[in-house]
Amino acid sequence: MNHGDVRALWLTGALALVTTALLLLVGTPLAWWLARSRHRIRPGVEALVALPLVLPPTVLGFYLLVLLGPAGAIGSIWEAMGGPRLVFSFPGLVIGSMLYSLPFVVQPLQTAFGAVPERLLDAATLLRAGRWDRFRTVVLPLSRRGVLTATVLGFAHTVGEFGVVLMIGGNIPGRTQVLSIALYNHVERLEYAAAHTLAAGLLAFSFVVLLAVYAFNRRFEVARL
């Protein structure tokens, strides 16, 4: 791997880490609400969350570029308030990645939260556990498989993104050039050996991560019986 590839590797790792951490923070209350609410706007919110699953990443990236750019509806206000430039920067990459990977974090959490029996929540409440206490001591431990799945899928999916980052981040080595884009550059320049290194690395990484999740969940199943 050349120097640029190593920088791309670090950047990708940092982006996936930050994105996953923020998504868990934002996605947990959202998933809890989706799992428990019977509000009539819930289907709409669910559809919005699932949108990145079916939308071409370039569509998402294009609208983000338009909205977050210095002249965009959000970007102009943000910069007027003294915020740093969002497009073609790390913060922009994080925002794009969060939207792109949102369903991969929210859906496993929502499924796990929804599977926690209502009667256990009632039992905890009547033992005088407050909402947060109840969530921490009953819901999270019973949802650990969902949390693990959400974390791994969120991380791996962010590592593998291309279209969104290209649109909103561009291709700036060391600043916004992530692995998948570095790989694309190698192919464009016909550097197939370097391209193979990155492609095979990403392939192996994805497989090992999924293998770990399935193996861990299986072990859990056995232990629960």
Partner 1 sequence: MSEIAVSLRAQVGSFALDAAFAVPMAGVTGLFGASGSGKTTLLRCLAGLGRCDGVVRIGGAVWQDDERGIRVLPAERGVGWVSQDSDLFPHMDVAGNLDYAIRRRPASAPRHDRSAVVGQAGIGALMQRAPLSLSGGERQRVAIARALLAGPSLLLLDEPLSAVDEPARRGLLDFVAEAAAGFEVPVIYVSHSLTEVARISDHLVWMEGGSARRAGSLADVVAGADFSRWLGDDAGAVVDAVVRAHDESWATTVLDSAWGQFTIGRIEAAPGDRVRLRVLARDVSIGRAPQGDTSIVNEFHVCVAACDPLGAGDLLVRMTPRGGGTAVLLARVMRQSAARLGIGPGADAYARVKAAALVHRR
Q: Site for partner 1 (CB under 8 A): which residue of 126, 190, 193, 222?
A: 126
Name the one range near partner 1 by CB under 8 A: 18-26, 138-146, 154-162, 185-193: 138-146
Shortest approach of partner 1 to residue 138 CB, angstroms? 6
Q: Does 148 bind partner 1 (CB under 8 A)?
A: no
Residue 119 binds partner 1 (CB under 8 A): yes
Out of 70, 83, 130, 174, point to the residue binding partner 1 (CB under 8 A).
Answer: 130
- Site for partner 1 contains 142 (CB under 8 A): yes
DSSP string, the chain: --HHHHHHHHHHHHHHHHHHHHHHHHHHHHHHHHHH---TTHHHHHHHHHHHHHS-HHHHHHHHHHHHSTTSHHHHHHHHTTPPP-TTSHHHHHHHHHHHHHHHHHHHHHHHHHTS-HHHHHHHHHTT--HHHHIIIIIHHHTHHHHHHHHHHHHHHHHT--HHHHHHH---TTTT--HHHHHHHHHHTT-HHHHHHHHHHHHHHHHHHHHHHHHHHHHHHHHH-
Span of 121-129, 155-163, 165-173, 204-212 interacting with partner 1 by CB under 8 A: 121-129
Give the interface with partner 1 as residue ranges (CB under 8 A). Answer: 119-120, 122-130, 133, 137-138, 141-142, 224
